[in-house]
Structure 1
Amino acid sequence: MSGQTVICAGRIYCDLVFSGLDGPPEPGREVFAEALALRAGGGAYITAAYLSALGGQAGLMGVLPAPPFADCVTREMAQNRVRSHCSAAGAGDPQITVALARGGDRSFITRRVGAALAGADLPPAQHLHIGELTTALEHPELIAKARARAMSVSLDCSWDARALADPGTAEVIASVDIFLPNAAEMEALAASGIAVAPRLMSVIKRGAEGATLIGAEGARIEAAAIPTTPVDTTGAGDAFNAGFLAAWLDGAEMAEALAQANRCGSIAVGRIGGAGALPDLRLPETGISGQARRQV
């Protein structure tokens, strides 16, 4: 990823990831885990970490979880060379997620505290990525500020039943260039009668079935997933976002961008937690050449 600066905005969590469960959680029954990992979490952070691992300059906007969990997050951000534009937590519960990884999938219990952002100004960048629909609904000024600076904008969905049925959601989606939901979120939006019409494209994540890109004029590109044995699917969609955005910002063909997105997603499902300390993910065979950006 050549020289592009991306600001990722959204809620920041400390994830407590339990893996190797000896059974599904049930009322009145204690379940034991083989391992517990503390990881920085939240879609915006995970995308920023993977963008950095792909060679980009990534910054993060959000509110850190309350102590002692903030230390885990800031330490991992530094490991992954993610620039902090974050605010300290105010009073209240810590913003954490308990992730239960079992059988190649995961479930979450999350404590969400306050607003996603604490009024910090948008730092200079070429692109703004918003890690969850709820953040965009709570902070419409983010997109307005990005447009005033001629920044491109992308938006993940990140499941939230209330946001998926919010009357303002269609307008938010229409204001961004790239919308990056998964298949279940697209179905929920359709069930709520919400139009999905971003300026340039929707990129729909379908897990083991790959991904589908739909251009503003209706053109479609399908991309098969990379066969992978999943360990923990936490953050796979956010890693996918980073792969796609890094390639798109470097001017890749859309099929090439989807291939890199699927590669990042396959790496993510083979790791515990959303990111952790990532290796350098730049590969010569990626073929991202930095040519003039092509749109569908």
Structure 2
Amino acid sequence: MKPLVSLGDLAWDVLAKPDSMLLPGGDTTGRLELSGGGSAANVAVWAQRSGYPATFIGKIGQDHFGELAMAGLRAEGVEAEVIASHEHPTGVILALIDRRGQRAMLTSQGADWDLLPTELPVATLEGARHLHLTAWSLFRDPPRAAALRAARLARAAGATLSLDPGSFQMIQQMGRETFLEVVDGVPFDVIFPNDDEARAMSGEREHGRALDWLRERYPEALVVLKMDEEGALLEGPTTPRTHVPATPDTAVDATGAGDAFGGAFLASWLQHGDPVRAAHLAVQVGGWVVARFGARPATDADLQARLQAVLA
């Protein structure tokens, strides 16, 4: 079976959820966790966990954080084509999580921001069933040129393509029109915006109108709108508009829930081609993640039961 290939960021996550408000000069207790992260790496992990072989392509520093992040991928069974940089450290992401489970992230510009076109593993890309990109690989150059070349190589070899728009704030900082110009140049088959990213791209505030805009702008793409506690709304060239409700899970930490959704969706969709069925699996996996701490909590009987129930 040809693998799903996810290209982009592999980083070291520092998750912090304070017990009370952070005050200048103050001290408080809270929950901290350190683990491998990065949106593209998380998608590969969740595709693998959901039953589809996954490969990650990216760049890390020659440092301890890079070794730990790679060990995390190996433990998940994800194949990795990783370039080790002498010049740049492994990226680090600080996620500050509030009482409602929502997170704000501070991302360092590590080695993953320096991936070059000449460093791409061409044979791996040409052997992919699907290539997933996150907009973190498009917001600046490098690594934009590498991501765009990867898309061309994979598409020419017959792979399908997907995009996670990544960050509404980075879209705004890059400039909406500039970002859209980059996205317009890649024939993505699936686009996974969340509420904020859909608004940043479309300029529309309401879910349905944002989806209308995205479908008009990208008529050949399946658009899967992630709406947190409201579930998912999807529509594509051959898929009528469908709402898939969220699970009743209580949010503890939203870090990585969108990546888990995307990885589970792609794993399911690539096996049977039914986007609605894939979305039902994705909301179950995303709900399980958001009810726990971290982007890749250890699997348990609850997760296995959810996967089996939907796959059955």
Is 1:133 matched with 2:145? no
Distance 2:162 2:149 in 1: 15
Which structure carries more relative contact order (alpha carbon 8 Å, separation 6+)? 1
Counterpart in 1 of 2:33?
Answer: 37
Q: Secondary structure at the match of 1:262?
A: helix
| Gapped regions of structure 2 (runs ≥ 5) | 205-212
Out of 9, 14, 17, which is 1:16 matched to? Answer: 14
Counterpart in 2 of 1:268?
Answer: 289
Q: Indicate conservation of the 8 Å contact 1:154/1:179, yes or no.
A: yes
Identity of aligned residues (%): 25
Q: Indicate conservation of the 8 Å contact 1:6/1:59, yes or no.
A: yes
Alpha-carbon RMSD: 2.5
Distance 2:131 2:175 in 1: 21
Amino acid corresponding to residue 21 of structure 2 in structure 1: P
Out of 77, 80, 84, which is 1:81 matched to? Answer: 77
Q: Indicate conservation of the 8 Å contact 1:11/1:117, yes or no.
A: no
Encode CA deviations 1:36-78: one digit per residue, 9 max, x unaligned. 2111111111111111111221111111245221122012111
Q: TM-score scaled by structure 1? A: 0.86
Out of 26, 48, 53, which is 1:52 matched to? Answer: 48
Q: 1:117: Cα distance to partner?
A: 2.4
Q: Secondary structure at the match of 1:250?
A: helix
Aligned residues: 283
Q: 1:232: Cα distance to partner?
A: 1.1
Amino acid corresponding to residue 180 of structure 2 in structure 1: T
Distance 1:91 1:278, change over 3 A: farther
Q: Secondary structure at the match of 1:187?
A: helix
Distance 1:191 1:129 in 2: 25
Distance 1:243 1:65, change over 3 A: same
Distance 1:95 1:284, change over 3 A: closer
Q: Indicate conservation of the 8 Å contact 2:61/2:87, yes or no.
A: no
More helix by share: 2
Distance 1:223 1:164 in 2: 31
Q: 1:286: Cα distance to partner?
A: 1.9
Distance 1:213 1:220, change over 3 A: same
Q: 1:279: Cα distance to partner?
A: 5.2
Q: 1:34: Cα distance to partner?
A: 2.8
Distance 2:5 2:255 in 1: 21
Q: 1:250: Cα distance to partner?
A: 1.2
Q: TM-score scaled by structure 2? A: 0.82
Q: 1:177: Cα distance to partner?
A: 0.4
